[in-house]
Amino acid sequence: EAGVAQSPRYKIIEKRQSVAFWCNPISGHATLYWYQQILGQGPKLLIQFQNNGVVDDSQLPKDRFSAERLKGVDSTLKIQPAKLEDSAVYLCASTSLDGKNDEQFFGPGTRLTVL
């Protein structure tokens, strides 16, 4: 079974530029999460989708971050414009249909460096 795929694996941009990350969850997983992991900290949830609907985006900085999952499968996370403090690893995770106590499977992450 293929795991959660993410691309790119690394990205370096300058502040005020825009960037997009892509995630393809495990086939059949209806729930998809984006987490931000700043160096030295644990991952923090940015947004959760159930199919193509948003369940929780309370910690997403909506003035600069956006995410979509148009067909309920893969998802993109965008930052525009980027700030220095956005330097982090962005993790995508997915879980099966009901999401209750099911294991979240994580992708390898995208490491973003903002200069």
Tokens standing for residue 33: 């999460």
Q: Which is nearer to other proteins, 47 or 82 (CB)?
A: 47
Q: Which is nearer to other proteins, 20 or 45 (CB)?
A: 45
Interface with other proteins (CB under 8 A): 3-4, 31, 33, 35, 40-45, 48, 55-56, 91, 93, 95, 99-104, 106-109
The answer for 97, left when phi > 0, alpha when psi is -120 to 50, beta otherwise, is alpha
Q: How far is the CB of 39 from other proteins (least distance, A)?
A: 10
Question: Is-contact 15 28, C-beta < 8 A?
Answer: no
**Residue 71 phi, psi (nearest 5):** -105, 15
Q: How far is the CB of 98 from other proteins (least distance, A)?
A: 9
Q: What is the largest CA-CA distance in the chain?
A: 40
Q: Which is nearer to other proteins, 14 or 98 (CB)?
A: 98
Q: How far is the CB of 62 from other proteins (least distance, A)?
A: 17
**Residue 84 phi, psi (nearest 5):** -55, -40
Q: How far is the CB of 41 from other proteins (least distance, A)?
A: 5
Q: Which is nearer to other proteins, 27 or 41 (CB)?
A: 41
Half-sphere exposure of 83 (CA within 13 A, CB side): 6
